Structure 1
Amino acid sequence: MVRCCPGSCWRRDALRLRLLAAAAHGGHGAQAADGRVQAGPEDTCFEYGVFPAILSFPLDYPLSPPKMRFTCEMFHPNIYPDGRVCISILHAPGDDPMGYESSAERWSPVQSVEKILLSVVSMLAEPNDESGANVDASKMWREDREQFNRIAKQIVQKSLGL
């Protein structure tokens, strides 16, 4: 089980290595054996949460980005209600047709699974409330941070089976 707390960061790193190995050996869908791929970042409302997720690799990986989907309940501005993650690093290479992201922020073949996971941890800590993947979460993040934090902490408790 991966938890983001003192003494367990090595577990998260070991998991990242397993995901990297799966991707390097032609795995087109990678999931850790225990299903745990993300831990909530410290000093945030998601701290200590253990959030199962799946990285799915396309046949033309690494030319195209993988997709990431949380398989547990999540409430976050950059996570769709069905669990799909919406961050720049997972968007196809090239220019953003909406003009929102620079091409440097988007996927390129030199990106790694580790960079994706670090980006997701960063996203959990600092949501982009303009992305609109989850409009309700974005609005609450902007207008009622206390309520947002309460919901996030309830999700953390569920992720830990409490």
Structure 2
Amino acid sequence: MNNPDPWYKILQSVATSLSLILIPIIIAIIANSYQSEMTQQKINSDYIGIAIGILKEEPSAKNKEIRTWAVDIINHYSEVKIGQKAQNSLIKDTTLQVGDLLFYRSSKNDPSHIAIYAGDGQIIHASYKNNGISHEDLNRSKILKQIYEYNRR
């Protein structure tokens, strides 16, 4: 074996040349893939941050669409998804509309009374003291502090 086969030398030379060319290319491809993934994770994180900033604002009729977008963004890019009940709560328009039912309580844990929103800050409800039906300003009523929740009809 003092005189190696000429094909062996050619094959060894080609393998060395290919490894000198291919190894840096493979390393570059892996590094580029890693960098792209890291960049995408940063973008996803930024989207989630923007969405959370939007959801910190109070819900209203004017921002319902953007709040829906924010919830969709979080559910798309975050590993932790927002459940349907929480989504409804985050998107819900808190602006009262005529006919909305206001559930409130006096001292108990569960709602004990219901009023109907009549518009222009007015509510209609049956009084506690058998005085019949009352019509009053919600903002001046003690009921406002006792509202438990409200629902759209």
The answer to whether the superposition gives a TM-score over 0.5 is no
Pick the TM interval, shorter chain. under 0.3
Give the structure with the higher percent helix.
Answer: 2
TM-score, normalised to structure 2, is 0.25
Question: Relative contact order (alpha carbons < 8 A, sep ≥ 6): 1 or 2 greater?
Answer: 1
Give the structure with the higher percent strand.
Answer: 2
Q: For the pair shown, which has the larger CA radius of gyration, 1 or 2? A: 2
